[in-house]
Amino acid sequence: MTEIFNPSNLVLNYFVATLLIFMGIYGMASSRNILKLLIGIEVASKGCMMAILTAGYALQKINYAQALIILMVGVEVIVIAVALSLIIKNYIQRHNVDAWKLKKLKG
């Protein structure tokens, strides 16, 4: 147990990354608010970034990990921007941000 909480041992980082991914997935599963779903995606992606970073550090390929994270951040921003614009458009038409009411969209 004490081995895990030693920062020089990177197990702590993997542990935190796994917890962040779990929190993100829990947040997505437990909320009907579409904005909250997006925040859950963001928190989970922070966990993924932490895992990539730690793997790069452990394998002494930190620059490779940095390149992957930079590309990931770019894609993340685009995904969030498009999703938020969809939310605003949905709100203008239906006046709510409830994910369950999106089923009215079915053809």
Partner 1 sequence: MIEYIILITLLLVSGAAAIMFKNMLYAAMGLAVCSIMLAFVMFKLNAPWAGVFELSVCAGLITVLFASTVSMVKTDKKYFVQSKMSKYLPLAVIIFGLILLSFGKPFLTVLMAEHKAHVSQSVGDIIWNVRFKDLIAQLAILVAGVVAIKAFFGKHSDEVEEKK
Q: For partner 1, which residue of 1, 103, 105, 107 counts as binding (CB under 8 A)?
A: 1
Site for partner 1 in 27-46 (CB under 8 A): 27, 29-33, 35-36, 38-40, 42-43, 46
Give the binding-site size for partner 1 (rule: CB under 8 A). 76
CA-to-CA separations, 107 to 25, 68, 103, in angstroms, rounded: 29, 39, 9
User: Could you write out the DSSP letters of every residue in 12-77?
Assistant: HHHHHHHHHHHHHHHHHHH--BHHHHHHHHHHHHHHHHHHHHHHHHHTT-HHHHHHHHHHHHHHHH
Residues between 47 and 66 that touch partner 1 (CB under 8 A): 49-50, 53-66
Site for partner 1 in 84-103 (CB under 8 A): 84-89, 91, 95-98, 100
Q: Using the rule CB under 8 A, which residue among 7, 104, 106, 107 binds partner 1?
A: 7
